[in-house]
Structure 1
């Protein structure tokens, strides 16, 4: 560092200043939503809230606890995320492990066909008709089965199995009489915990944030996920603001909607916000899987 020229130091200062600005731009919306969820809705709508709560209140969180739809949506999202991630992980492993084996005949052709699906899809209408013909409309399976396998994630797992686990270990296990299933359970999976953690994070975050599939396939409000409930709250709040405040009753409704809106955003994102700092290294590991190593 002491041998750097003035130009190098100036470049470093510029990079640090740019990264600081980017951090502020990214973090401020999160800080504002958190502060607004504890502030008076009237103060928020008047633009008086910036970095610190004003007229501290818990009205938004109280309304969430009293709202059965939000609690039901939260429970549904937890269920969909747990079941969907489990199915995603099992099917991805079942597809990736055979493709990583050198003794699988036609594995390159199968991989090419899988990659082809990343460029072309059936489209929204044919997919809806297929889900309807399979009798999955208005069921949990309509949100899970159509996206049960991600080809991108399968390729990541296949690459890890090929490059991260020596094939000689599998050959030695086969000589000792270990079956393919036993080899997968006893050797491959215990050595693949980093990539499995990456897949769990990728799939669970995708299920947690998903709402469009529920918007298309679900009609029963008791089955709505939390993100769809949040979408309705945000749209209703925007419509009420566009209509204006005409009387006291309407004004109170708008204020409650504003408080609920920010509180629900915090509650909906709280699990991911709490887990991500501890699991960030696994995301980095997922990006580096398959990279060229010197």
Structure 2
């Protein structure tokens, strides 16, 4: 990606190195559609926490259960400053794209904040550990990210590269865009009768729309500043496929349970990300009006 000359966002909140604390705190509340979506994009984008823990078995540095990790004890992880700078530039790009897009719609876009943390974190949606994965909390309009997730994305899930990281950030920002557009509240108010989970459930439709919005950002950012290089799109598609419910379930437990999907299959995630990337149009991202995902 060509971001070296781009500005950095002022909306990065760096909590790395600060202890998330010990026990006795309220756990983070994951994916409750009734009563609105409380946390989005969590648990490796929504997979059951038991599956995540299976994926992370043996990777003790990714979780905290009884005190700070080594990274927390020593402060911000060595070598992550470059990653922070990159993430800050991606965030700035999303701010520019969505601010302009909202202006074209006659609306105002309110920038979210992105919180970097190590090990565990307090959010407006509760207390979370790294194993939850990146997530967006509508209650405080913040994205939460432990940069260690990218090591898992590349090493264990096989989705490396700068644009793979950018896709993760853009997906979470996509949830903020949903919040800004009132889509989350509309879903709650309409109570469309869809099940919460499963291949065509409300949760899957919300997450696939966020994938599509991530593609819209990439298309418009590239049209404006030619940020994409050879291989970037492939990295994004690979990342979208890597975090499909079916692939994660297969890797974790050896079989797939479509009725438990919360974010969509690999094919669905790639399809909707590609749709946004090809059209650059949020109107093409209406997963709720689509009978087939």
Instruction: Name the TM-score, length of structure 1 as normaliser.
Output: 0.24
Which structure has more relative contact order (CA 8 Å, sep 6+)? It is 1
Larger radius of gyration: 1
Task: Give 1 or 2: higher helix fraction.
Answer: 1
The structure whose residues are more often strand, as a share, is: 2
Query: TM-score if structure 2 supplies the norm length?
Result: 0.24
